[in-house]
Amino acid sequence: MAIAVVHRDSPEGRAAIVYAARIAIRRHEQLEVLHVLDDAFGGDTESDRSALRAEVQAVLENGEVGESPWELRTNEHNGDQLSALQSLVDSSGADLLVVGMRRQSPIGKFLLERWLQRLLLEVEVPILVVKEDAYSAA
């Protein structure tokens, strides 16, 4: 199986990648980094993918898990990023999805971010939510 992680260029996104890599190493599973491309930028070019790969590898090296084997999966969205993400999760064959979330107030924790609520309801695999301070944990 595989461990999938949602790529977001944010502290919580970087924490999720490192945490997911540590889980993948511990379980001897493939890490699948999922990224939804904005179709407004002209699609998925090889230079975009190379830049994303370099960014993810830098995050893994900074988190001291640079040796972790991983694969980048991308998908474009047509106005619905979550459907594109769900398609990536389905095609990855992952048995766990890791997402990053920023710390929130008690009300924010109750309401969650809208995209995360929808993700929790629509994705069939278990979801592990990681906070930014988990970057150094695991």
pLDDT, tens digit, for every residue of 6-40? 998 889 999 999 999 999 999 999 999 999 887 65
Model's pTM, two decimal places? 0.84
Q: Tell me the residue type at 125.
A: V
- Calculate the alpha carbon distances from 10 to 15, 37, 56, 121 in Å: 9, 16, 12, 23
Q: What are the chain's domains?
A: 2-136 (3.40.50.620)
Neighbours of 111 (CB within 10 A): 12
| Model pLDDT, residue 136 | 47
Instruction: Please give the Cα distance from 15 to 21 (Å, whole number).
Output: 10
pLDDT(64) > 90? yes
